[in-house]
Structure 1
Amino acid sequence: MKAYLFPGQGSQFVGMGKDLYKNSHLAKKLFQLSDEILDFRITSVMFEGSMDILKNTKYTQLSIYIYSVIKAKISNNFEPDMVAGHSLGELSALAAIKVFSFEDGLRLVNQRATIMQKICESTYGGMAVIFGLEDSIIEEVCKKDHGIIVPSNYNSDEQLVISGEIQALRRVCFLLQKIGAKKIFFIPVQGAFHSPIMAPAQKEFKKIVNKIFFKNPKCPIYQNVTALPIIKSDDIKKNIVKQLTYPVKWKQSIKNMMNHRDISFTEIGPGNILQGLIKKISKNSV
């Protein structure tokens, strides 16, 4: 069984996609199409932009989507039995298995990124990775805080991301450190993704999603919201809207995929962040 995984924000790098553009006629065509659809040169941002520019949510999401989907499209052996994408990567996965077109997916990502960027600029939110504490402990500390702070990414048994108001984030991280967190890392992002703070973005994004034609996928997609294999386009639509305020159930998705015998995982996109998480999840699942 072949499972393909698509990364989200954090996997970008300077010069991403330049080699694909030079070495593949199809890739070049899709990069040029991206510039036309967006009405600005996203290729310049990807090929020549600095990391500071690439960290901007709008550019990050577009760049990772374009790179990941192009990589899938130029692959000679992309024949998945199942797919999954981490946060933004879910949209890349859906385009790769032709639930919607590359062009429609690009428009979706562009709108999603623009809406989320607005929320980031108008709120004081943040995210932090907590290492070495059980999920239930982190969940309980978040629940007891009087601010907006929630678990947002269940990445592995050793790593849980929390998101929320910056003051609540600092309070909770201080408490988690006191009760035994091995390490806490504040993620360099402007917003509190996958938290209630993103609710206004969710309402806007739903309107955009409903304008796009979705087909049933050619293979199951394990979506972040449920961690279960989804095969109906209507369910997929609902879940990608919910995803903005719901936690990413990544380790749960991978563990469910691992229930299939003789499964192999291939990461499609910039970097190999997800392969690192797979190793940690596999180790704790033996």
Structure 2
Amino acid sequence: MDGLVMFSGQGNVSLKKLKKLVESPEGQSFIEDSKFNKVFSDYLKCAITNNLNNVSYEIIATFVSNEITWRKIKKNYSISNFTAYSAGIFNILSASQVIPLNDILNFLVERIKLFELYQGNQGLYIYITKDNENAKKLRSIINNNKEVEIAIINSDKSGVIALSNDYFDKFKFTLKEKGIKSVLKFTGLSVPYHTAFLNHLISDYRMIVDKLFEKYDSEKAENYNIIFEENIFIKCEINRQLTKPINWNVISKKIIYKNYIDILDTSPNNQLKNLITKSDNHSNILTINGSEEIWKSR
């Protein structure tokens, strides 16, 4: 069995790392390939010069970082398997070449415009609990609270939640009052992705996703295997992820079960690799490598 690439999600790429990536040979290759899309190119220039708001920067930086890292990976590895954490899903479309790059860039621009219109005050917070029992209690509280929603389940003890900034202190007090031992940390992401807080965007979002898939190449798709928590068409998963949580814990267990020869993590500092090894008591069955050398070369 050949390798698997895990494309990382938003909130991981610093401005310094983005600049270094773009300056690499693979980065310059991407700049050349994307220069015909003037709007996207302008966004990227603004991102590099630190002239973008946080929402736009994260969308651009995540895709560009994953894309350039993928161009490094494919020089040395045989890859026909992909998975993604959150917004990394759009890089699967590019890496598998099932949709023209320019159409993906157009979609990302439309995605930016859509999320820039978001008027809510919810943000995404990482939660880490002491143990499984504390995690179950925390999730139970969330399930009975309209002010908080689970966005991502990273492991049995951790994940990402969405809540309003105004409600943050009250929620922390509730956890303390219930004796739940946990840590909450803001991710820097001010859009509550993967939650019902974005339900009002469903119609507009599906319109731009429909346009994205107009030139989808189903024949090329047959050459690749994609791991999601459910075995569904990637277009359906993209639509689902707007307002429904992601269970990375389930995806991790699927990856472990497959026992790939090489698992390559595109995220800085191997965040996805760390999530997998923490969820697996027998992580020696995996050979997770590649991204260490890739990130060193940046």
TM-score by length of 2: 0.80
Deviation at residue 33 of structure 1 after TM alignment: 4.2
Q: Could you say which residue in structure 2 is the equivalent of 1:5?
A: 6
Deviation at residue 30 of structure 1 after TM alignment: 2.3
Give the distance between the partners of 2:53 and 2:110, measured in 1 at CA: 17
Deviation at residue 123 of structure 1 after TM alignment: 0.9
Q: Could you say which residue in structure 2 is the equivalent of 1:221?
A: 226
Q: Could you say which residue in structure 2 is the equivalent of 1:206?
A: 206
Q: Which moved more, 1:40-49 or 1:107-116?
A: 40-49
Give the distance between the partners of 1:215 and 1:260, measured in 2 at CA: 26
Ranges in structure 2 where 5+ consecutive residues have no aligned partner: 285-298
SS in 2 for 1:88: helix
Give the distance between the partners of 2:276 and 2:4, measured in 1 at CA: 12
Q: Quick one: which amino acid aligns to residue 271 of structure 2?
A: I
Q: Could you say which residue in structure 1 is the equivalent of 2:197?
A: 197
Q: Could you say which residue in structure 1 is the equivalent of 2:112?
A: 113
Ranges in structure 1 where 5+ consecutive residues have no aligned partner: none
Judge conservation of contact 1:157–1:284 (CA < 8 Å) in 2: no
Q: How many residues align?
A: 272
TM-score by length of 1: 0.83
Alignment of 1:128-277 (within 5 A): 128-132=125-129, 133-134=131-132, 135-145=135-145, 147-178=146-177, 179-212=179-212, 213-216=215-218, 217=221, 218-223=223-228, 227-230=229-232, 235-277=233-275
Judge conservation of contact 2:47–2:60 (CA < 8 Å) in 1: no
Q: Could you say which residue in structure 1 is the equivalent of 2:66?
A: 68
Q: Quick one: which amino acid aligns to residue 198 of structure 1?
A: L
Judge conservation of contact 2:138–2:180 (CA < 8 Å) in 1: no
Give the distance between the partners of 1:83 and 1:187, measured in 2 at CA: 25
What is the alpha-carbon root mean square deviation over aligned residues? 2.6
Q: Percent identity?
A: 19
SS in 2 for 1:228: coil
SS in 1 for 2:152: strand
Give the distance between the partners of 2:21 and 2:163, measured in 1 at CA: 37
Give the distance between the partners of 2:35 and 2:62, measured in 1 at CA: 14
Q: Quick one: which amino acid aligns to residue 82 of structure 1?
A: N
Correspondence 1:278 to 2:276: yes
Correspondence 1:126 to 2:123: yes
Deviation at residue 55 of structure 1 after TM alignment: 6.4
Q: Quick one: which amino acid aligns to residue 193 of structure 1?
A: Y
Give the distance between the partners of 1:138 and 1:214, measured in 2 at CA: 41
Judge conservation of contact 2:90–2:104 (CA < 8 Å) in 1: yes
SS in 2 for 1:259: helix
Give the distance between the partners of 1:114 and 1:78, measured in 2 at CA: 36
